[in-house]
Structure 1
């Protein structure tokens, strides 16, 4: 791990000068500033957040990392965090990571350098090891929608495997055995866990897993539509479709209806998340509820407690559940197979 001594040696200046550059102290020469910043970039050095906070004092800002703030799911998550922040007269600073490790690092560095003592991170690109190291630097860091075993007490997550299992089992209980699955093409735990949950539900009910029934696409309406186009082109005897999320379900349903397939009379569809769209498409979507508002509220409260030095209280709490269980929400898009 690179230290301030390594940076000073690489830059050819003293540790004191390096510290002044890192903390934007006055009376530092331009040459020294350039040399230190170049050495930091070359060595991949990020100043320890605790040390920097001692110099720069704290801010009233909570840092939030999301995949893409324009996505409705993350808008809901940010709104829930902002509700807590507003009650405490704090502001949010938001970064987009796009499930890319380097973009996530850049966004987190910006949040840290902006003196955010509390961080709520939805990160899928960075490794567990990096997040454990970051947790050592930032006491107020909490990870949402992911479990990092070494810092599990600072993670707020959903059982995605169980959620997809519930959705698939619901279709099976309605008599369906030829069930397609539209999966996110993103290489993240959520996609892997939900696909595994779908497969496990089939296996546990004596149904063979058929690769021809599984299609991949972007986790949005367009991705759901294109995945369903591919599925229909195979002319498989499917009677039901389980999807990665409600937005893929919406795209799937639009494509089916445009091709004169009645939902749920001809084919049943089930989503995942229970986002706003699930209530307002027709027929209203049966789905699996992802309690992101509750999870986001708990995550930011936990981050604030940790930043305030309540780590002993948080670590030893046995009253709070941080692995949330999804629940089935029955509406009108699933019917018993005739």
Structure 2
């Protein structure tokens, strides 16, 4: 295995000079720096991150805990953190927690075992009290997509309740008065908050949401298809549907179109998240943009700042969804 000493000998320089190049340090001219970089590549040198962390007492990695790497939403989250890690010449470690408290704990512990102390955590199942205790013990942890008052300065979160209200205001402005909702079966706060905001905003317009028009399913394309089938089979009246996420919304559109309904002529549909697929569905999906890429970058920067002394306060912790108007909603004329 090639070492720094081997590179130094080949370059005819000191071990300290090579170390400065590897760690992007100062006091090395461009010509010599290029020479050492070429030798590093030619000789196949690979720095040992764990060994470096032991010597410097500083980790060169930033970790993220997410439920599922295959989900486009969480892939975008991880990519946002990776952008920051690359800017800081750090490596990203991903650990998955699959929406159970036990697996989320295991994912966090796995990163800690690899000397990853700066971690952005997406946790929906670990109890508030446990997370509060955990975060007090680890000042470099940041929680994303969840708000806990006792650690509010370490939470980067989206106001899901306000998102539901924005969706309702949009549909009300389009003259809709009969509504259905498709929500997620997952026992987490996000669907509850979005639905509560939607229903509260309808109440302000003196409209009582009929719970018979609420259907729950898995938050997937197939879940949206099944939920829409259930709504149609119920015989309930509605001209607009507020859907928990974009995947379910696109699945619902497919079922409606298969059953002879035109979207948005017969039924308007609004989703949530603004994933890439929303721009390419037919019709293109009106949705609430969840700025998860921006939030992830902010969370990573906050976690890295918290590793500095003194800690730097930040103001941008709460994000508000933005309405993205496309083709799946229109004015109700009947």
Whether the TM-score (by the shorter chain) exceeds 0.5 is yes
Match of 2:260 in 1: 260
1:59 aligned residue = 59
Could you tell me how far apart the structure 2 residues matched to 1:184 and 1:145 are?
16
Matching of residues 217-256 of structure 1 within 5 Å: 217-256=217-256
Greater than 3 Å deviation, 4+ residue runs:
53-58
1:190 partner SS: helix
Contact 2:141 2:154 in 1 (8 A): yes
1:107 aligns with 2:102: no
Give the number of equivalent residue pairs: 281
Separation of aligned partners in 2, 1:310 and 1:217 = 47
CA distance in 1, matches of 2:54, 2:206: 61
Residue 56 (structure 1) shift: 9.5
Deviation at 1:105, TM superposition (A): 0.4
Gaps spanning 5+ residues in structure 1: where?
A: 1-52
Please provide the CA RMSD for this pair. Answer: 1.4
SS of alignment partner, residue 187 of structure 2:
coil
Query: Equivalents in 1 of 2:115, 2:277: separation in Å?
Result: 36
Per-residue CA distance 1:118-141 (angstroms, 9 max, x = gap): 110010000111111111221110
Which segments of 5 or more consecutive residues in structure 2 lack a partner in the other structure?
1-52
Superposed CA deviations along residues 199-230 of structure 1, whole A, max 9, x for unmatched, are: 11111111112111100011111111111111
Provide the rounded CA distance (Å) in 1 between the counterparts of 2:123 and 2:161.
Answer: 18
Give the equivalent residue in structure 1 for 2:318. Answer: 323
Quick one: distance in 2 between partners of 1:128 and 1:152? 12
Normalised to the residue count of structure 2, the TM-score between the two structures is 0.82
SS at match of 1:228: helix
Where does residue 124 of structure 2 map in the other structure?
A: 124
User: What do the CA deviations read for 1:296-315 (whole angstroms, capped 9, x no partner)?
Assistant: 0000000011123342x22x
1:201 maps onto 2:192 in alignment: no
Kept in 2: contact 1:58–1:116 (CA 8 A): no
Q: Is the 8 A contact 2:179 2:209 kept in 1?
A: no
Deviations 1:54-95 (A, max 9, x none): 899433111101121110000111111101111111111111
